[in-house]
Amino acid sequence: MSRIDDLLSQMTLDEKISMLAGADLWHSVPVPRLGIPQFKTTDGPNGARGAWGSMASPSVATPVGIALGATWNPEIVEKVGNVLADELKAKGAHILLAPTVNIHRTPIAGRNFECYSEDPFLSGMMASAYIKGIQDKGLGACIKHFIANDQEYERFSISSEVDERTLREIYLEPFRIAIRNSNPWAVMSSYNRVNGVYACEYDHSLLEILKGEWNYDGIVMSDWFGTYDEGVPSGGLDLEMPGPARWMAAEVVKKALESGTLTEERLNDKVRRLLGVLEKAGLFENPILQPEKGEDKPEHRAIIRAGRAGSNCAAQERRHSAARQCEDHRHDRPVCPHRANFGRRQFQRHPALHRLAV
Please tell me the total number of residues recorded for the chain in this structure: 358
For the chain, count helices (H), then strands (E). Answer: 13, 8
Which of 203, 223, 328, 332 does the annotation list as catalytic?
A: 223
* 219 neighbors 141 (Cβ within 8 angstroms): no
Helix (H, G, I), strand (E, B) or coil at 221: strand
Annotated catalytic residue 223: yes
Quickly list DSSP for 91-153. TT-SEEE--B-----STT-TTGGGS--S-HHHHHHHHHHHHHHHHTTT-EEEEEEETT----T
| Residue 221 phi, psi (nearest 5) | -115, 155
Distance CA 28, CA 38 (A): 5
Four-CA torsion 60, 66, 70, 73, nearest 10 degrees:
50
Helix (H, G, I), strand (E, B) or coil at 205: helix
In 3D, which of 83, 113, 91 has the Cα closest to residue 27? 91
Helix (H, G, I), strand (E, B) or coil at 159: strand
Enzyme catalytic residues: 223
